[in-house]
Copies of this chain bind each other. A is one copy, B any other.
Amino acid sequence: MTGARSTLEDVAARAGVSRATASRVLNGSPRVSDDARVRVEAAVAAIGYTPNRAARSLAVHRSETVALVVSEPSVRLFADPFFAGTTLGITGELGATRYQLVLLMTPSDADRPRTEDHLLHGGADGVLVLSARAGDPLPARLARAGIPCVVAGRPPAGAGDAVGFVDADNEGGARQAVAHLVERGRQVVGTVAGPSDMAPGVDRRAGWARGLAQAGRLAPADLVSEADFTREGGAAATRALLARRPQLDGLFVASDLMALGALDALRAAGRRVPDDVAVVGFDDSELARSADPALTTVRQPIERLGARMARLLLDQLERDAPPVGEVLSTELVVRRST
């Protein structure tokens, strides 16, 4: 069954056809008689034949691989919550195709040129990019070189519409969160926003503002406090907010980790959650479930996001569809903190 690998030649011989015909059958060409098709398929099954990827790649001038590039210096912080889920979605979608997923991580800036070079030299037929950095030049460069590319999150500014993307509906999620807080009767709803140079930070803040607007409220700047997606940052931002607006009774925090910091700060300030201040996070990470009180948060369809990325890339690769963007809706998970 294993051992001496069998070749297409063997299959052809056994089926009593030429190598060319056997190849046609394997590639689903319509120009084959039913008779030949059946015999080749039987031979394949009997021999346990598996095509040689290398030979095929060499002949068709394609690697038949998709690269997953995780280009993030601080992999630890960023990757943990997303990586496993997204990857699972990607492999699920890719599993049915002949494409292989090869993993390229560039934790330090030093190894990015190598990766880029590799991809630009045909290292993969298509590329999926997982990166928090908005300014990543890689996708645009790949697209310019004619290599299909789909990024997670909003596409980098310079890329035009040449690169596909799949993003979670950050703004919509934030709006949901705010609507929920308003529904809970909160009067003064502030936000601990993410950094304004990161797309999710910007979008979630915008969602907060629009959410308030839709409720007929104002969204004054002094109800926004920016932090850096860390727990400590979240705590500090919350303290600042409380200092400026002691009446604060609702808080939308742009990530679960920062929300944990917010809970710290609120507790330190003697505010009860949710009685005095209701808090909503974002991400629905493990942290949210284990927080005290358990955090109401916005869940992103991580695995689905990976699957859609792969799908959009395959569309470009196989039916050379144009690169498109897609926004996946989020879901509010209500827990004890509101």
Question: Footprint of B on A, CB under 8 Å?
Answer: 1-2, 5, 50, 52-55, 57-58, 63, 65, 68, 75-76, 79-81, 83-85, 87-88, 91-92, 95, 100-105, 107, 111, 114, 117-118, 120-123, 145, 231, 257, 260, 286-287, 289-292
Assuming the contacts A50-B121, A54-B58, asked whether A75 and B88 have C-beta atoms less than 8 A apart, the reply is yes
* Chain B residues whose C-beta falls within 8 Å of the C-beta of A104 in the assembled complex: 91
Please state if B103 and A68 are interface contacts (CB–CB under 8 Å).
yes
Please state if B68 and A76 are interface contacts (CB–CB under 8 Å).
no
In the complex this chain forms, how many copies of it are found? 2
Task: State A226–B263 Cα separation when bound (angstroms).
Answer: 32
* Chain B residues whose C-beta falls within 8 Å of the C-beta of A120 in the assembled complex: 1-2
Assuming the contacts A102-B102, A286-B286, asked whether A84 and B91 have C-beta atoms less than 8 A apart, the reply is no
Q: Which of B5, B84, B101, B291 contacts A290 (CB 8 A)?
A: B291
Assuming the contacts A80-B286, A287-B287, asked whether A105 and B88 have C-beta atoms less than 8 A apart, the reply is yes
Q: Which of B55, B83, B145, B289 contacts A84 (CB 8 A)?
A: B83
* Chain B residues whose C-beta falls within 8 Å of the C-beta of A100 in the assembled complex: 65, 102
Task: State A19–B122 Cα separation when bound (angstroms).
Answer: 21
- Nearest to A260 among chain B residues (CB) is B290
Assuming the contacts A75-B88, A100-B102, A260-B290, asked whether A63 and B68 have C-beta atoms less than 8 A apart, the reply is no
* Chain B residues whose C-beta falls within 8 Å of the C-beta of A54 in the assembled complex: 53-55, 57-58, 63
- Nearest to A267 among chain B residues (CB) is B292
- Nearest to A147 among chain B residues (CB) is B2
| A190 CB, nearest partner CB in chain B, Å | 22
* Chain B residues whose C-beta falls within 8 Å of the C-beta of A55 in the assembled complex: 54, 58
Please state if A91 and B118 are interface contacts (CB–CB under 8 Å).
no
* Chain B residues whose C-beta falls within 8 Å of the C-beta of A102 in the assembled complex: 65, 100-103
- Nearest to A64 among chain B residues (CB) is B54
Task: State A5–B104 Cα separation when bound (angstroms).
Answer: 22
| A234 CB, nearest partner CB in chain B, Å | 11
Assuming the contacts A88-B75, A102-B102, A105-B88, asked whether A121 and B287 have C-beta atoms less than 8 A apart, the reply is no
Task: State A81–B76 Cα separation when bound (angstroms).
Answer: 10
Assuming the contacts A286-B80, A286-B286, A290-B291, asked whether A88 and B101 have C-beta atoms less than 8 A apart, the reply is no
* Chain B residues whose C-beta falls within 8 Å of the C-beta of A84 in the assembled complex: 75-76, 79-80, 83-84
* Chain B residues whose C-beta falls within 8 Å of the C-beta of A107 in the assembled complex: 88, 92
* Chain B residues whose C-beta falls within 8 Å of the C-beta of A257 in the assembled complex: 286, 290
Q: Which of B50, B63, B121 contacts A2 (CB 8 A)?
A: B121
* Chain B residues whose C-beta falls within 8 Å of the C-beta of A289 in the assembled complex: 231
Please state if B76 and A85 are interface contacts (CB–CB under 8 Å).
yes
* Chain B residues whose C-beta falls within 8 Å of the C-beta of A117 in the assembled complex: 50
Task: State A118–B107 Cα separation when bound (angstroms).
Answer: 30
* Chain B residues whose C-beta falls within 8 Å of the C-beta of A5 in the assembled complex: 121-122
* Chain B residues whose C-beta falls within 8 Å of the C-beta of A76 in the assembled complex: 84-85
Task: State A47–B54 Cα separation when bound (angstroms).
Answer: 24
* Chain B residues whose C-beta falls within 8 Å of the C-beta of A92 in the assembled complex: 105, 107
9 A-B Cβ contacts within 8 A? A5-B122, A50-B117, A53-B63, A53-B123, A54-B54, A87-B103, A87-B105, A95-B111, A290-B291
